[in-house]
Structure 1
Amino acid sequence: MSRSLTNEQRIFLVKQWWKAGNTRVVNEAFQAEFPDTKIPARQAIYQLAKKFDETGSFEDAPRSGRPRTVRTEENMERVSETFLLNPQTSKKRASIDLGISRRSLGRLMQDLNLKLYKPRLLQALNEDDPDRRMEFCEWVLDSFEEDSTVLDRILWTDEAIFKINGRVNRHNCVYWNDTNPHLVIEQELHVPQVIVWGGIWSNGVVGPYFFEGNVRSQKYFQMLKDNIIPQLEEHPSFQTMIWQQDGAPPHYGQIVRDYLDDTFLHWIGHRGTVEWPPRSPDLTPCDFSLWGILKDRAYAQNPCNINHLKSLIEQEFISINVDIELCQKISRSVADRCQMCINTEGKQFEHLR
């Protein structure tokens, strides 16, 4: 940056630095004096002042022979120590602190085999959850061995909360190391804006259905009876369909369980014909795939209000519904996930994928 400045601007910067010794004050004065020139970076100001102090000039000293490389043993040690002491520092911050360009820093980090790892969000488990997860996964794999169509017949359903800016941004959560630390975050998020119900199976997606206010058993039952089940009954595979839902309180109401018992030969859920293991979003396609796809696509279009957000969600449901191959791939991937869950003795496995 300093090379693109005029001598007048360089002299001004150095004088302001001598007077204030504070880059914020220097930047404010520079912007006021030269409003059409980009403010130099803090490190550029440091280096400019240091060079003038040491040489009495802003010009680079003449060089002889081959240009000096930054990939020296000393710089390797400096970079290694920086990320060893603070592995969560950003590349930009390290570049400024070390006085090394980001491109050169990238080469040094590559030589040191430093890689970028981002944390994964995992659902915390209770003490007896692994056993219940194992039981469910064994049922899935045993059923799949007996009937290879079983995963195509399960309709996976769930509700999700969508908000205007409702995403966990992990792009700024970084960890540099030469081996994967499997850094994870266990966190629950409850910032309600609009509650969306949806389902996915190998024949496409079902929904969306938007709940107004809190979801209660009666409201959930009315949705099933008046909106969802009549729609599903028109599908030729309805008689062999297996309904899945998690153990959320609205799903557990007696009126809901009685209705599912009367409607489906088999259904998965809390006190269903097949027991659903609690705290297992890594085993249901809605959580590990559908909601992520929908939120990525909807938020990429910058919804300006709830009605706009609802419209975007409806559009994306239509888009996914025509991609039957994607729906089949997502639904059938449950078998592999169940096997991974068994391999980890019912514990979390998403961070190991």
Structure 2
Amino acid sequence: AHPLKSTRKRSAELGIPRSTMRQHMKKDLGVRPWRPSFVNELSDNDRDNRKECCSELLNTFATIPSRGDECAIYRSDRKRNVFFWSKENPHYMEEIEHKPPHVMMWAALNARHIIGPYFFNGSVNHKSYLEMLQNWFVPELDALGIRQDVWLQQDGVPPHYALSVREFLNDSFPDRWIGRGSPVSPAPLKWPARSPDLTTCDNSLWGYIKEIIQSRRYQNNEELKDAVRAAFATITPTMLTKMSHRTWRRIILCYENDGAHTDTLD
């Protein structure tokens, strides 16, 4: 059967009740329903860039560069993974706000350290992003005594690409930051677009934090921030190591599979 064909359509083609077919699939065929993974569409050029980047990472770095990234966290995210088990349909309905309240946070991590969370006041623009780097992130690195050893990697969204931001990164991380507009030489690589699966924030951290906090509503943003901070506090050194290993594994898989998505390979 075609993997994207619905059970309703297939049962009509076979002339059997849908319930009978689903029962046969579960009991006799041993299959079960799975949620699909929705990933960014990749062009041939994207795949080439991803493979090239992975090759450079594997040949240049002994550890994953520190990844810094933003994430929107909503006060109510009750749509995710919510099911009702009942003999009859309870017809439960919950109204969802058109623009639900949320906070924008930022964090950076590598195999040994996690810096964050940092919460922006409102949306992120180049001024607020630069202020965060200047007044919080770099001082945090200096307090730990690790700035000279850190390679910072970021994506290419407009706030990260502003000239003032790039100039600050050039001064604070000379030849040690990776992203849109970073020095091509002597910096070793250009980060490929549409590659969140290759970053630890996207493939591990954000999902872990959301899994912890998504089961309840929050009355205000401060309550949500407290929950996020508490979730971050549960991350152990062992977990950081495992997250980093997962990203390395994905980088290897991406290289071995000619730049393909790794969400279904990992």
2:60 corresponds to 1:143: yes
Q: Which runs of 5+ in 1 are unaligned?
A: 1-81, 88-92, 173-189
Q: 1:161 aligns with which of 69, 72, 75?
A: 72
For residue 247 of structure 1, what is the aligned residue in structure 2? 156
| Equivalent residue letter for 1:225 | Q
- In the alignment, which of 34, 46, 50 is matched to residue 117 of structure 1? 34
The 2-side partners of 1:123 and 1:168 are apart by: 22
How many angstroms apart in 1 are the aligned matches of 2:112 and 2:259? 29
Query: What is the rounded CA distance, in whole Å, between the counterparts of 2:101 and 2:217 in structure 1?
Result: 18
Partner AA of 2:66 in structure 1: L
Question: What displacement does 1:94 show?
Answer: 5.3
Q: CA deviation at 1:211?
A: 1.2
- The CA deviation at 1:83 is 3.7
The residue correspondences of 1:56-75 to structure 2 (distance < 5 A) are none
Instruction: Identify unmatched segments of 5+ residues in structure 2.
Output: 1-5, 12-16, 84-98
What letter is aligned with 2:155?
A: D
Distance in 1, Cα, partners of 2:253 & 2:49: 15
Tell me the equivalent position of 2:249.
Answer: 336
Give the secondary-structure state (helix, strand or coil) at the position aligned to 2:254: helix
CA 1:171–1:132 in 2, change beyond 3 Å: closer, same or farther? farther
Q: Which has the higher mean CA deviation after the structures are superposed, 238-247 or 116-125? A: 116-125
Which of 237, 249, 267 pairs up with 2:177? 267
What is the one-letter code of the residue matched to 1:314?
Answer: R
* Alignment-mate amino acid for residue 269 of structure 1: G
Residues 126 and 215 of structure 1: CA distance in aligned 2, closer, same or farther (over 3 Å): farther
The question of 1:308 aligning with 2:217 is answered no
Cα distance in structure 2, aligned partners of 1:192 and 1:206: 24
- The secondary structure found in structure 2 opposite 1:215 is coil
* Counterpart among 197, 201, 218 of residue 282 in structure 1: 197
* Cα pair 1:118 1:170 within 8 Å, conserved: no
Identity of aligned residues (%): 31
Secondary structure at 1:115 match in 2: coil
1:226 partnered with 2:139:
no
Give the conservation status (yes or no) of the 8 Å contact 1:160–1:197: yes
CA distance in 2, matches of 1:168, 1:287: 20
1:235 corresponds to = 144
Quick one: which amino acid aligns to residue 201 of structure 1? N
| 1:164-203 matches, cutoff 5 A | 164-166=75-77, 169=80, 193-203=102-112
Secondary structure at the counterpart of residue 116 of structure 1: coil
Whichever residue aligns with residue 346 of structure 1, its letter is G
Q: Secondary structure at the match of 2:108?
A: strand
Greater CA drift, 270-279 or 238-247? 270-279
> C-alpha distance in 2, partners of 1:191/1:247?
26
**Aligned pairs, number:** 235
TM-score by length of 2: 0.78
Q: Distance in 2 between matches of 1:164 and 1:125?
A: 32
Identify which of 21, 25, 50 aligns with 1:133: 50
> Is contact 2:76–2:216 with CA below 8 Å preserved after alignment?
no
Question: How many Å apart are 1:326 and its aligned residue?
Answer: 0.5
- What do the CA deviations read for 1:282-306 (whole angstroms, capped 9, x no partner)? 0000011100000110112443332
Provide the rounded CA distance (Å) in 2 between the counterparts of 1:264 and 1:215.
Answer: 22
Question: Separation in 2 of the partners of 1:138 and 1:291?
Answer: 26
Work out which of the two has the higher radius of gyration on C-alpha atoms and give 1 or 2: 1
In the TM superposition, what is the alpha-carbon distance from 1:113 to its structure 2 partner? Answer: 2.9
**1:179 corresponding residue in structure 2:** none
Once the two structures are overlaid, the 10-residue window that deviates more, 223-232 or 114-123, is 114-123
C-alpha deviation, 1:140, in angstroms: 0.9
Determine the C-alpha separation between the residues in 2 that align with 1:289 and 1:309: 20
SS in 2 for 1:125: coil
1:211 to 117, 120, 125: 120
Q: Match for residue 49 of structure 1?
A: none
Question: In the aligned structure 1, how far is the partner of 2:25 from the partner of 2:81?
Answer: 25
Amino acid at match of 2:150: M
Work out whether 1:351 is the aligned partner of 2:261: no
- Conserved? CA contact 1:140–1:335, under 8 Å: no
Partners of 2:114 and 2:226 in 1: how far apart?
16
Q: CA deviation at 1:216?
A: 1.3
Say whether the 8 Å CA contact 1:161–1:191 is kept in structure 2.
Answer: no
